[in-house]
């Protein structure tokens, strides 16, 4: 636990040192500023951010603090002296920890009844859903064909001999998708999850700290053209890997998905609490939500938002993703992570 705290504090110092405003270096005289702390995968059109700034008089200062797991750790470590006004990116796997630590203050956005309330984690209105994604195994079919092996379709397939040294996953202690994949194996296999991970270890599973490294550096199907044809990512990730004819070059294995919702909330002790609430309303607005699929490759939480045409073919939403009760995750998360570390990294 101490090592996790030291790691989180170190990442915080490094990350904050590199922060820049989302548009422009300094706010204009009299302009209000809201600091939005988020994860490394946050992306949004400058045009949309600038339009909000012109309309509201509020500049959003986006500060990226690592993966969702690191973000949550940092929010907890700094809760008595918050590093921002609003946080986005705490998800299903870490939300209970943030709520238990009283990181967020209550706020019920008038936009929440447009769909986000479907994913409410409790009745305190401290966290509001912004987007929905499903963490699944992704594969590079061309690379698997070149190796002469079939495409895996289940968790169990990944333990077979033909997939030796092909899978890369994220560390569940530091990565949101890594934790979601671990939880998916627990939801699917029950007490058998430990034997499953020992089998993956025997098949040479590679563990890295976060999604960016796993997907963009180690996965053969991404722009990084890494050495491994199987990675833990999202059901929507293939929409970012289209060939010239519009067909997806990668594929999500829909039998390995775990439902993940990302939330936003106003931080306790925020210096700009009222303006932070306005920014949260903006994150739920039709204007912002329409950008979510193409900018962050996840589904908007708001109902009635049109999706990119390619998503119907490349990024279908899984019909029956695995899920666990947030209360069960809260009770067992640290124990499960510690057991996973002893098994896989011990």
Q: Does residue 141 share a domain with residue 121? A: no
Taking a C-beta distance cutoff of 8 angstroms, is the pair 243, 313 a contact? no
309/246 Cα distance (integer angstroms): 10
Task: Convert the pLDDT of each residue in 21-46 to its tens digit.
Answer: 444 445 555 689 999 999 988 999 99
Task: Convert the pLDDT of each residue in 185-205 to its tens digit.
Answer: 999 999 999 999 999 999 999
Confidence at residue 30, expressed as pLDDT on a 0 to 100 scale: 67
Q: Does residue 218 share a domain with residue 292? A: no
Q: Does residue 176 share a domain with residue 271? A: no
**Residue 173 DSSP label:** T
Domain that holds residue 157: 134-259+316-345
Helices (H) and strands (E) in the chain, counts: 13, 9
The residues of the chain scoring below 70 in pLDDT are: 1-30
Confidence at residue 266, expressed as pLDDT on a 0 to 100 scale: 98
Confidence at residue 26, expressed as pLDDT on a 0 to 100 scale: 53
Q: Does residue 149 share a domain with residue 71? A: no
Confidence at residue 250, expressed as pLDDT on a 0 to 100 scale: 96
Confidence at residue 28, expressed as pLDDT on a 0 to 100 scale: 57
Quick one: CA dihedral 84, 182, 8, 122, positive or negative?
positive
Taking a C-beta distance cutoff of 8 angstroms, is the pair 265, 87 a contact? yes
Q: Does residue 273 share a domain with residue 125? A: yes
Confidence at residue 36, expressed as pLDDT on a 0 to 100 scale: 97
In a domain, 75, yes or no: yes
Q: Does residue 148 share a domain with residue 160? A: yes
Quick one: CA dihedral 167, 335, 179, 224, positive or negative?
negative
Q: Does residue 23 share a domain with residue 120? A: yes
In a domain, 311, yes or no: no
Q: Does residue 39 share a domain with residue 118? A: yes
CATH of the domain at 66: 3.40.190.10
Beta-strand ranges (E) seen in the chain are 32-38, 58-64, 86-91, 128-139, 167-170, 206-208, 230-234, 251-266, 299-300
Q: Does residue 92 share a domain with residue 19? A: yes
Q: Does residue 177 share a domain with residue 253? A: yes
* Residue 320 neighbours by CB distance under 10 Å: 9
Confidence at residue 315, expressed as pLDDT on a 0 to 100 scale: 84
Q: Does residue 178 share a domain with residue 88? A: no
Taking a C-beta distance cutoff of 8 angstroms, is the pair 281, 111 a contact? yes
Q: Which residues of 105-128 are buried (b: 16+ CB within 10 A; e: fewer)?
A: bebebebbebbbeebbbeeebbbb
277/112 Cα distance (integer angstroms): 12
Q: Does residue 175 share a domain with residue 48? A: no
In a domain, 302, yes or no: yes
Tell how far CA 324 is from the center of its chain.
17
* Number of domains into which the chain is organized: 2
Dihedral in degrees, nearest 10, Cα atoms 47, 53, 59, 62? -30
In a domain, 299, yes or no: yes
Predicted TM-score of the model (pTM): 0.76
């Amino acid at each position: 636990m101490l090592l996790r705290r030291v790691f989180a504090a170190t990442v915080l110092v490094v990350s904050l040192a590199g922060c820049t405003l989302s548009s422009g270096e300094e706010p204009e005289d009299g302009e209000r500023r809201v600091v939005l702390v988020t994860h490394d995968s946050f992306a949004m059109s400058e045009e949309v951010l600038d339009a909000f700034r012109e309309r509201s008089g509020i500049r959003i200062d986006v500060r990226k603090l690592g993966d969702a797991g690191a973000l949550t750790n940092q929010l907890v470590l700094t809760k008595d002296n918050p590093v921002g006004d609003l946080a986005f990116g705490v998800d299903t796997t870490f939300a209970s920890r943030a709520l238990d630590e009283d990181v967020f203050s209550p706020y019920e956005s008038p936009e929440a009844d447009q769909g986000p309330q479907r994913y409410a984690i409790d009745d305190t209105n401290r966290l509001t859903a912004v987007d929905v994604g499903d963490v699944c195994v992704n594969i590079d079919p061309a690379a698997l064909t070149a190796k002469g092996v079939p495409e895996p379709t289940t968790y169990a397939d990944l333990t077979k001999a033909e997939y030796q040294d092909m899978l890369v996953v994220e560390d569940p202690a530091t990565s949101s998708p890594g934790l979601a994949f671990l939880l998916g194996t627990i939801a699917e296999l029950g007490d058998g999850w430990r034997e499953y991970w020992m089998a993956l270890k025997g098949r040479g599973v590679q563990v890295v700290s976060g999604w960016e490294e796993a997907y963009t550096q180690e996965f053969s199907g991404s722009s990084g053209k890494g050495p491994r044809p199987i990675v833990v990512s999202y059901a929507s990730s293939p929409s970012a890997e289209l060939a010239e004819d519009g067909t997806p070059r990668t594929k999500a294995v829909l039998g390995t998905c775990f439902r993940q919702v990302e939330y936003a909330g106003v931080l306790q002790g925020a210096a700009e609490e009222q303006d932070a609430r306005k920014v949260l309303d903006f994150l739920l607005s039709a204007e912002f939500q329409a950008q979510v699929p193409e900018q962050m490759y996840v589904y908007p939480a708001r109902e009635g938002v049109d999706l990119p045409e390619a998503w119907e073919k490349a990024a279908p939403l899984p019909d029956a993703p695995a899920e666990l009760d947030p209360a069960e995750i809260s009770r067992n998360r640290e124990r499960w992570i510690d057991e996973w570390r002893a098994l896989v990294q011990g």
